[in-house]
């Protein structure tokens, strides 16, 4: 665990609040980590993914072992330092090295697990979950020949198409699907301009453990209707992702991370005024006074009786005096 000092100034407190978990999170950034050694294939994969996202931080570190006890310290430190929730880690060596809501990516290459790529997420700058995949049949962006006018624009939001029943029935592929969506999600927006959507990631489940990932550009053509006809042009990269190992989040941590903001209940007959503040209306039903039962114990009636008794005695005195 990363030790966090208590802030001593208001400025430090504000900075910690910016990095703290929020009910409505901002866009996630990605941390790309290189280990002691990396293979040429993994270097090319990470270079292409960096080109597609452009919100990454790249770092080299030799002491990252997310799956081992005590090996998560360096990873969590870099996550806290760069404020990244998605991480990609890449390492090559004789031993088995691995990587881990910030997203990170970690790559490794060994005889037992060649071209190993680990995708992971953190919550509150602690490891949330991990997915380890092997990269096979990789084709880089430079190997594709196409009209450069169709190249996707920087910062555009992509479509995702998941083809195959294994994405619904196999837990490992469900987990990988969530990780890929988080990786290329970007900023959350409410509306999209159709002309600005210019790319799509096509993920095909070839088998219960293998997914073919393909990046395509969208070409809009006339269709005779208000909805244009779309054609896919493969622009790269493309690769086979073979699921190897994974770690699911703990139930308590998942419940905390999936917490959403409570919607305030709308109060009837209440309005807010910028000057007078909170105002409310109270509706009183019609009072049918004529039908109300009046008791004889009302103070007003007692007073009237005393006054009537005095007047009666006074009239009697006047009659006696006249006689």
pLDDT at 21 over 70: no
Q: What is the pLDDT of residue 213?
A: 93
**CATH of span 26-95+105-188+196-258:** 3.40.50.10480
pLDDT at 267 over 70: yes
Q: Which residue has the higher pLDDT, 81 or 9?
A: 9
Instruction: Work out the average pLDDT over 281-297.
Output: 76
Could you tell me if 62 and 133 are in contact, meaning their C-beta atoms sit under 8 angstroms apart? Answer: no
Least confidently predicted of 22-26, 41-45, 134-138, 202-206: 22-26
Instruction: Work out the average pLDDT over 199-204.
Output: 92
Range picked from 3-12, 64-73, 120-129, 225-234 for highest mean pLDDT: 225-234
Percent of the chain with pLDDT over 70: 69
pLDDT bin (cut points 50, 70, 90) of residue 162 is very high
Q: Which residue has the higher pLDDT, 168 or 284?
A: 168
Give residue limits of the domains in the chain: 26-95+105-188+196-258
Instruction: Work out the average pLDDT over 153-175.
Output: 88
pLDDT bin (cut points 50, 70, 90) of residue 89 is low
pLDDT bin (cut points 50, 70, 90) of residue 296 is low
- Gap between the Cα atoms of 164 and 168, Å rounded: 8
On average, the pLDDT of the chain sits at: 76
Instruction: Work out the average pLDDT over 146-172.
Output: 87
Which tokens sit at 315? 């009239």
Residues 150-165 as b or e (16 or more Cβ within 10 Å = b): eebeeeeebeeebebe
- Closest by Cα among 163, 173, 166 to 246: 173
pLDDT at 73 over 70: no
Q: What is the pLDDT of residue 165?
A: 92
Could you tell me if 86 and 28 are in contact, meaning their C-beta atoms sit under 8 angstroms apart? Answer: yes
- Closest by Cα among 221, 223, 264, 185 to 27: 185
């Amino acid at each position: 665990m990363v030790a966090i000092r208590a802030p001593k100034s208001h400025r430090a407190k504000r900075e910690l609040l910016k990095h703290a978990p929020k009910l409505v999170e901002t866009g996630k950034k990605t941390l790309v980590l290189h280990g002691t050694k990396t293979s040429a294939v993994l270097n090319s994969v990470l270079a292409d993914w960096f080109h597609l996202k452009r919100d990454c931080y790249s770092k080299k570190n030799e002491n990252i072992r997310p799956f081992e006890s005590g090996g998560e310290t360096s990873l969590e430190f870099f996550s806290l330092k760069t404020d990244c929730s998605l991480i990609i880690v890449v390492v090559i060596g004789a031993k088995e090295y691995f990587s881990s809501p910030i997203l990170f990516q970690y790559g490794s290459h060994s005889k037992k697990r060649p071209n190993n790529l680990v995708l992971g997420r953190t919550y509150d700058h602690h490891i949330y979950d991990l997915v380890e995949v092997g990269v096979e049949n990789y084709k880089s962006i430079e190997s594709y020949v196409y009209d450069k006018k169709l190249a996707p624009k920087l910062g555009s939001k992509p479509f995702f198409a998941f083809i195959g029943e294994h994405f619904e029935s196999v837990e490992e592929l469900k987990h990988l699907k969530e990780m890929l969506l988080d990786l290329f999600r970007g900023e959350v927006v409410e509306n999209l301009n159709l002309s600005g959507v210019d790319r799509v990631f096509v993920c095909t489940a070839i088998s219960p453990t293998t997914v073919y990932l393909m990046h395509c550009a969208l070409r809009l053509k006339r269709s005779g209707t208000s909805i244009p006809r779309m054609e896919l042009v493969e622009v790269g990269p493309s690769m086979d992702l073979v699921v190897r190992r994974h770690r699911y989040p703990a139930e308590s941590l998942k419940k905390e991370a999936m917490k959403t903001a409570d919607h305030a209940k709308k109060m009837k007959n209440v309005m807010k005024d910028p000057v007078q503040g909170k105002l409310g209306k109270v509706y009183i039903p019609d009072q049918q006074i004529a039908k109300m039962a009046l008791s004889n114990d009302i103070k007003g009636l007692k007073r009237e009786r005393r006054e009537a008794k005095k007047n009666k005695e006074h009239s009697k005195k006047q009659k006696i005096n006249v006689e």
